[in-house]
Structure 1
Amino acid sequence: MAREADVTLEDIATELYALPPKEFTAARDARAKQLADAARAKRVRALRKPLLAAWVVNLFAREQAAALRGALELASELREAQDDLDARALSALGRQRRALVGALAQQASELASARGEKITPATTDAVEQTLNAAMFRADAALAVASGRLIRPLDAAGEDSAEVSDAVAGDLDVASAAVPAPTRPDELAARRARKAAEDELRSAERALKKAEQDRDALERKAKSVAEKSERLSARIEELEQELERTRQELKGREQESDEVDALRGDARERLHEAQQDVSTAQKAIDRL
């Protein structure tokens, strides 16, 4: 186990920023209490909880380091080569870069969702903006690769000081996960481009399929909702009709009781009349 003196603030930050956001604060405070050096403990307690989009990028940098490294190295090579490209090639390059960044951001969001975090479209957009910044600027690429982002980055409007402030601990090439890129030969560059294009096409196919599935489910959800509304309305009608029938039945039962009472009276009067007739008949017979 490494001695406390050998563990840097960046090492501790890397451990903490690997945790789910809801666990960060308690883990940070507990880690600070473990440190004998008061000054170092104070610096650990000062570490800020990462915003969700920043944590998603940190997760992607840790879990998909190879994919991120390849994308950032390719971006560095493209930045070096773009001065030699014409407008048409630059336009095509821009489209491919945007598609690649979008695919990476979607993968990062899906990875975070699989960890139980609720990722909104706004969070995915912030992740995409951060990765886009890394495509255009070397310092942003180092910040993304560090896995210690505190907040998402913006491709425009941030200088190196602001980028460094978005990372926990110091930011330099030695502490970054991406090595200083070397210019590849033409064959290696073509292979890297082809691999990126293949990944882009695969991501586009997956995106199209996901959009089709979403549209189909939305249509089904709409149909189910409409049927549910119709059934609810029908249930309400039937309940009202049932209540009316109950009231009518109650009235008929009361009427039946009244008729039964009248029938009883009528039978008694009939019996009395029959007796009167019999008595009168007997009286006549005796005359």
Structure 2
Amino acid sequence: MKKLQFGYHMKLTFSDYVKNHRFSLKCVPHDNDLQKIENMSVEVYPDNVTSEDEDSYGNITLFGYTNELHNSFGFDVNGIAVTGREEYEKADELHKIGIFKYQTPKTKPGLRTLEYYQKLDLKRFDSALDKASAIMEGLSNSFQYVQGVTNMSTTSEEALTGGSGVCQDYAHIMLSLCRMEGIPCRYVAGMMMGEGLSHAWVEIWNDRKWLGFDPTNYKLVGDEYIKISNGRDSEDCLVNQGIFIGNVTQIQDVNVVVEEVVDEGIVGIN
């Protein structure tokens, strides 16, 4: 178990002023079996959050609207997460599991994925855990972490064909392969010690439990992770969605800091 102090900063800078800005944000971690969130503060600028709700996956969503002219938009989320409270999340509501067995446009396998899947020879394993572990090991050996070669719209098939990508791509590929084996699995967005950016990983369903796998770092998810949201793929976990009036370009800056708090001091600064 760890006590993690976290800060999640996101800022959009527009090339000119915009107005009539409606937005939704999924940037707020919440309590679950794995973690308890304490002393949290959320600031959105311009300061126009109007409501908070939960989506169908249990993710906290902030909604807002501002009509004033502005050339930047962002949020700061700060708090403490007590992590490692359990090794898994319970999954007692079985009627909610089925949706995570089906491919999405982001994870739909193509010829390259089918070829890769056959080489893994997952039929030699009996359990979902062993199959997921083999998939994670295979990705660690054959897929490279490279920034800038994929983007938010890249599918698992496209990323696997290119042979490199970032944590979102690792997660989408693993989701695709697990679903080909009939394993319910979901995409997770969150934070991790030592990253400096937001992070993504996978949870598989096994024996009424959601168990976390991080294919990017080839490890099981433990108490150095803070979960923010989960869904079928990254589209269900988009941190920021919005529309506004204005013909502009935009630059996004993201900075995530996660530090372990021990005896009122801070260690493990990334």
Q: TM-score, normalised by structure 1?
A: 0.21
Name the structure where helix makes up a greater proportion of residues. 1
Name the structure where strand makes up a greater proportion of residues. 2
For CA contacts below 8 A with separation 6 or more, give which structure has more relative contact order.
2
Q: TM-score, normalised by structure 2?
A: 0.21
